[in-house]
Amino acid sequence: MSDIVYTARIELHGHIIDSLTLPRVFSAIMADGESDFEVEEFTIGRHKTDSSYARIAITTPHQSRLNELLDELRLVGAEVVDDTLAEFVEADLDGVFPDHFYATTNLQTSVRLTDGWYEVHRQEMDCGLRLDPNSKQVECLPMHWVRRGDLIAVGKHGIRVVPLERARNRELFEFMGSTVSSEKPKKLLIDGIANEIREIKAHGGKVLLVAGPAIIHTGVGVYLSEIITAGYIDVLFAGNALALHDLENAVYGTSLGVSLLQGKNIEGGHEHHLRTVNTIRRHGSIRAAVEAGYITSGVMHDCVKHGVDFILAGSIRDDGPLPDVITDMMIAQDAMRKKIVGVKIAIMISTMLHSIATGNVLPADVKTVCVDINPATVTKLADRGSHQALGLVTDVESFLRELRNALVG
């Protein structure tokens, strides 16, 4: 048996005890039963505002295991102690990262350049890092933004991430974020969400709503309209279906041909959404239809009247679609990226596809609430790497009614 061991040192900074970063590091090191560690320096903050510091030496019998371990520890905020700078190489093709490119998370990231550490701009998961050599600005960029000659980060040296820190006070959001369950105190949670929304709006932050057509089908669009009218929503992400059936309801009182007042199919109702989208297309846009007086109520009407920005991203199954729907996936993603600037909380209701897409472009410091009757939908968002996602398993009617009551009264 070889006596050779491989060693590296890491440093941890911040509230590493409260955030559980330190025990997560120890657990990762000890997981294989072969690696070992020694805490060489440990300073504990004595006050709530004080940071802690740890310097840890790690030894493993295999270089490959050490590399894997360091990659894992970087993701929880460990900084490998070396003087290596981040490495950047030129992209050789448009829309293609260089081999061994650094793949980002949605956690705050910094890179080491010749004169120090620089924070990454536009933090987003599943992207690369591009360096502007003149300004020394480093930003996340999606693969399709890459242009030949761009300087793209490769490897993992000289790059560090900052984990989310757990709140010292057991806030409702932090308490409820532990598991996805239908057995959580829903009214308590929804009241907490309402308080967060008020606090964010009071400090100039934006509220994003990601909404599925179930809001219209179940007849609770009226609750959402009241929340919009009261000024609590700044941006709406949805698909063709939510907008179209909301507009259908405004014109015919139906959603997919079903009367929302009577709860039954209306004769000829199966044509209502097609006739609605045809007329909206004749007007040229939802806004034009509202301004012309064709649409006089509903969620989309209130978005237009109260200055709520909306992005409607299409899918292969859409009827029409509405003229406002963006049918090119890449263009839709880029439009979403522009609208999330300033967003501090995202409420995602009954739309798995759009919720996951939105979670992918949000940085980790944006509070996110995913509401769905299906636990798998809520869980899937967290599984995609959205660390900040909090799940509430309930029906859309109950959620929006309680949220309306908490916000509007």
Average pLDDT over residues 178-190: 68
The pLDDT of residue 171 is 53
Superfamily, domain 1-82: LOR/SDH bifunctional enzyme, conserved domain (3.30.70.2690)
Q: Which residues pair with 160 in a beta bridge?
A: 110
The pLDDT of residue 173 is 53
Give the pLDDT band of residue 257 (cuts 50, 70, 90).
confident
The pLDDT of residue 241 is 96
Give the pLDDT band of residue 59 (cuts 50, 70, 90).
very high
Lowest mean pLDDT among 48-62, 243-257, 292-306, 335-349: 48-62
The pLDDT of residue 120 is 97
pLDDT, averaged across the chain:
89
Average pLDDT over residues 381-395: 71
Does the pLDDT value for residue 323 go beyond 90? Answer: yes
Average pLDDT over residues 180-195: 78
Regarding predicted confidence, which is higher, 288 or 62? 288
Cα–Cα dist 367/100, whole Å: 31
The pLDDT of residue 385 is 54
The pLDDT of residue 242 is 97
Does the pLDDT value for residue 51 go beyond 70? Answer: yes
Average pLDDT over residues 246-271: 89
Does the pLDDT value for residue 18 go beyond 90? Answer: no
* Tens digits of residue pLDDT in 77-93: 788 887 789 999 999 99
The pLDDT of residue 405 is 96
Does the pLDDT value for residue 341 go beyond 80? Answer: yes
Average pLDDT over residues 332-351: 95
Cα–Cα dist 88/97, whole Å: 11
Per domain, the residue ranges of the chain are: 1-82, 83-168, 172-407
The tokens for 12 are 């941890």
Regarding predicted confidence, which is higher, 184 or 284? 284
**CATH classification for the domain delimited by 83-168, as one of 2.40.420.10, 3.40.640.10, 3.90.1150.10, 2.102.10.10:** 2.40.420.10
Domain 172-407: top CATH class: alpha beta
Does the pLDDT value for residue 170 go beyond 50? Answer: no
Burial grade of 197 (CB within 10 A; 0-12, 13-18, 19 or more): buried
The pLDDT of residue 402 is 96
Give the pLDDT band of residue 175 (cuts 50, 70, 90).
very low
Query: What's the per-residue H, E or C state across the chain?
Result: CCCCCEEEEEEEEECCCCCCHHHHHHHHHHCCCCCEEEEEEEECCCCCCCCEEEEEEEEECCHHHHHHHHHHHHCCCCEECCCCCCEEEECCECCECCCCECCCCCCEEEEEECCEEEECECCCCCCEEEEECCCCEEEEECHHHCCCCCEEEECCCCEEEECCCCCCCCCHHHHHCCCCCCCCCHHHHHHHHHHHHHHHHHCCCEEEEEECCHHHHCCCHHHHHHHHHCCCCCEEEECHHHHHHHHHHHHHCEECCEECCCCCECCCHHHHHHHHHHHHHHHCCHHHHHHCCCCCCCHHHHHHHCCCEEEEECCCCCCCCCCCEECCHHHHHHHHHHHCCCEEEEEEECCHHHHHHHHHHCCCCCEEEEEECCHHHHHHHHHCCCCCEEEEECCHHHHHHHHHHHHCC
The pLDDT of residue 180 is 53
Cα–Cα dist 36/30, whole Å: 7
Average pLDDT over residues 197-226: 96
The pLDDT of residue 388 is 64
Average pLDDT over residues 279-300: 98
Identity of the residue numbered 61: P
Cα–Cα dist 86/83, whole Å: 10
Average pLDDT over residues 88-104: 97
pTM, entire model: 0.85
Average pLDDT over residues 21-43: 90
* Tens digits of residue pLDDT in 137-157: 999 999 999 999 999 999 988
Average pLDDT over residues 191-208: 96
